[in-house]
Copies of this chain bind each other. A is one copy, B any other.
Amino acid sequence: MSKITYIGALREGMREELLRDESVFCIGEDIGTYGGAFRATQGFLEEFGRPRILDTPLSESAIIGACVGAAIMGMRPVAEMQFADFVTGGFNMLVNFAAKVHYRWGPSVPMVVRLPCGGGTRGGPFHTTNPEAWFTRVPGLKVVAPATVRDAKGLIKAAIRDDNPVLYFEHKYLYRRLKDELPDEDLITPIGKARLAREGNDVSLIAYGSMVHYGGQAAAELEQAGISVEVLDLRSLVPLDEEAILATVAKTNRVVIAHEDTKTGGFGGEIAARIAELGFEHLDAPIRRVASIDTPVPHAPQLEDAFMPGVEDLKQALKETVEY
């Protein structure tokens, strides 16, 4: 087995589903001839042709709206936002149309919106955000965020097979930095199940997306200082694996929550609130959140580095929580 990148695994997952099911199609800006801004769909046009690989006008609302209509009529569209940031143009379609159709009058809306997100790439205020929290508060949408090569594939396949609108947050920083070997089998990551990325006893780090990696690094470094960190990779934000969260809290009695999104109103608040309500008895220390500071995402390296949480921030929060 040869190693595959995170974006390669995503590509392979999509390709397998395109081959498996005729109702699956890809839609978005520059996904055909160009293979997508990040080349996630490279080679697809040659293999599957237009319209199954559909380069569209520059119209996010039309793209997402067309997905809703096609999905209601039985297709399984996979839309690419060129950057997650541009989903704001199709926001209304997602939160009002896609999310509410099934509840209102019954049809299933099996569609996936892929959202290349995240920073560390000097993309500035409009090419770097992590907008997942907007959608986690919308009943009717599912939200996943793969942190590993395996889940990049397993979650896109699960998302495509899911009968609901699923937002798939793929982290740009991980695209080519993560590499792994994958088995040949039909890899599906069930949506709604967290993954214990690392076992530990002293404190739990609950994270998703890129923070799983920074978290893993922090945990490895703290181990040498005698602190044992358990890392829970949520994988899916909606539905949320409350059971796994409460289990790790019950085990370590101390918890740090980490995400790359800004702190105020980020999804970490929801996790903290659930623990503060349902896991209160297990808590031996305040719940800390490690997140970006509450500003737009700045462009210059010095600023983006100061903006984003890093391994040192994680170590400090974990240490303080253990020492509390």
Contacts and interface: CB of A to CB of B under 8 A. Distances in A.
Interface stretch (A24-32, A85-93, A179-187): A85-93
Closest 10 interchain pairs by CB? A137-B265, A272-B273, A280-B286, A269-B269, A88-B92, A276-B276, A269-B273, A269-B270, A276-B287, A139-B294
B276 A270 contact: no
Interface stretch (A73-81, A96-104, A216-224): A96-104
Interface string A286-302: 11110000111000000
Given A137-B133, A264-B270, A285 B276 contact: no
Contacts of A295: 103, 139
Binding site of A, secondary structure by majority: helix, strand, loop or mixed? helix
Contacts of A273: 268-269, 272-273, 276, 287, 289
Contacts of A287: 273, 276-277, 280
A233 B194 CA distance: 37
B296 A288 contact: no
A136 B278 contact: no
A201 to B, nearest CB: 21
Nearest to A278: B286
B88 A100 contact: no
Contacts of A280: 283, 285-287
A137 to B, nearest CB: 3
Contact of A264 (B238, B286, B296): B238
Contact of A100 (B125, B140, B288): B125
Interface string A258-280: 00011011111110110111101
Given A136-B265, A273-B276, 14 more contacts: A88-B92, A88-B96, A100-B125, A103-B125, A133-B265, A138-B265, A140-B296, A265-B267, A265-B270, A268-B273, A269-B269, A269-B270, A276-B283, A280-B287
Contacts of A103: 125, 295-296
A56 B126 CA distance: 29
Contacts of A266: 137
Interface string A120-164: 000001100000011011111000000000000000000000000
